[in-house]
């Protein structure tokens, strides 16, 4: 299957489910690629241009919401998932002027890869087909996975985020808990300098110069999780 065929199939099933548009996309990964890697949609051209020009890839409310849940959600439920800002409302108004109505978005997150989602949207004024949302959840999930496999086949290199060694990760986890290098050394039973070096190497791998962004990026790409940090 090619990307064009997948897009074609998605457009067709979207229509059969009662939607007008679909958008299957990676959300912006700021670390490397300036553009989303996976991207298939049949949105109006004007809307896509506006979206890109304003770099909404990561700040779009629908995308933000898809980062805090593991299953699909109707756009009408957005306020329950995220804090809506003035700008978010403007984005929706803009979308409506481009003919986009209500929608349903299925998040698709794989640890260590850019987060993504598959959205289905109705034409302006048309309600979301409630009876088909379960189907949309299924279609969205499998469509994203299909696109992801195409993407991996095309570009196996970029699929790998910075990887930390076990020791680097151990040090980082204790660092995120607020331990100093010296304390981490005692905890892990190695020397102070070794801990300094592990964290130094970890920073280099992520291309950052400070502990805090290191922690943030490692959390973002799944190298460490909140549970690693907060447990016990």
Partner DNA sequence: CCGCCCCCCCCCATTTCTGGGAATACCCGG
Partner DNA sequence: CCGGGTATTCCCAGAAATGGGGGGGGGCGG
Judged by the rule CB under 8 A, the positions of this chain that interact with its own copies are 26, 28, 30, 32-37, 55, 58-59, 63-64, 67-71, 83, 107-116, 134, 137-138, 141-142, 144-145, 148, 175-178, 208-213, 215-216, 219-220, 222, 225-232
Strands 100-108 and 73-74: antiparallel
9 binds, among DNA, its own copies, none (CB under 5 to 8 A by kind): none
List the one residue from 158, 167, 187, 228 that touches DNA (CB under 7 A): 167
* 126 versus 134: smaller Cβ distance to its own copies: 134
Instruction: In angstroms, give the least distance from the CB of 217 to DNA.
Output: 13
Contact 224, 176 (CB under 8 A): yes
Pick 11 or 112: Cβ nearer DNA: 112
Could you give the CA distance from residue 116 to residue 205 in angstroms, rounded to a whole number? 23
Q: How far is the CB of 189 from DNA (least distance, A)?
A: 7
Q: Which of residues 53-72 bind DNA (CB under 7 A)?
A: none
Binding of DNA at residue 182 (CB under 7 A)?
yes
CB of residue 190 to its own copies, shortest distance in Å: 19
User: CA–CA separation, 179 vs 218, rounded Å?
Assistant: 17
Q: If contact means CB under 5 to 8 A according to the sort of partner, which of DNA, its own copies, none does residue 94 touch?
A: none
H-helix segments, the chain: 3-17, 45-53, 61-65, 78-81, 86-97, 133-154, 166-176, 181-188, 192-206, 211-220, 226-230
Question: Taking CB under 7 A as the rule, does residue 142 contact DNA?
Answer: no
Q: Are strands 116-123 and 100-108 parallel, antiparallel or unpaired?
A: antiparallel
Can you tell me the distance from the alpha carbon of 217 to that of 215, in angstroms, rounded to the nearest whole number? 6
Residue with Cβ nearer its own copies (66 or 122) = 66
Residue 177 engages DNA in binding (rule: CB under 7 A): no
Please, where are the H alpha helices in 98-225? 133-154, 166-176, 181-188, 192-206, 211-220
State the minimum distance, in angstroms, from the CB of residue 100 to its own copies: 21
Select 191 or 225, whichever has its Cβ closest to its own copies: 225
CA dist., res. 21 & res. 123, Å (int): 7
Element (H, E) at 21: strand 21-26
The verdict on 217 binding DNA (CB under 7 A) reads no
Q: What is the phi-psi region of residue 189: left when phi exceeds 0, alpha when psi lies from -120 to 50, beta otherwise?
A: left
- Compare residues 54 and 191 and give the one whose CB is closer to its own copies: 54
Q: Which residues bind DNA (CB under 7 A)?
A: 163, 165-168, 175, 179-182, 185, 188, 190-194, 196-200, 203, 209-212
């Amino acid at each position: 299957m090619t990307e064009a065929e997948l897009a074609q199939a998605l457009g067709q099933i979207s229509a059969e489910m009662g939607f007008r548009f679909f958008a299957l996309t990676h959300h912006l990964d700021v670390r490397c690629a300036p553009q989303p890697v996976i991207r298939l949609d049949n949105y109006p051209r004007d809307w896509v241009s506006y979206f890109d020009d304003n770099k909404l890839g990561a700040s779009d409310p629908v995308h933000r919401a898809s980062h805090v849940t593991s299953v699909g959600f109707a756009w009408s439920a957005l306020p329950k998932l995220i804090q809506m800002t003035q700008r978010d409302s403007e984005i929706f108004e803009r979308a409506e002027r481009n003919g986009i109505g209500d929608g349903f978005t299925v998040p698709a997150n794989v640890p260590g890869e850019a987060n993504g989602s598959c959205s289905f949207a109705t034409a302006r004024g048309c309600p979301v087909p409630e009876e088909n949302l379960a189907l949309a959840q299924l279609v969205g999930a499998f469509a994203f996975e299909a696109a992801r496999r195409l993407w991996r086949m095309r570009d196996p290199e970029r699929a790998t985020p910075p990887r930390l060694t076990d020791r680097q990760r151990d040090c980082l986890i204790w660092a995120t808990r607020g331990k100093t290098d010296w304390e981490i050394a005692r905890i892990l039973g190695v020397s102070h300098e070794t801990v300094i070096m592990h964290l130094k190497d970890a920073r280099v791998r992520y291309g950052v110069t400070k502990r805090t962004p290191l922690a943030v990026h490692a959390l973002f790409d799944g190298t460490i999780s909140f549970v690693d940090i907060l447990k016990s």
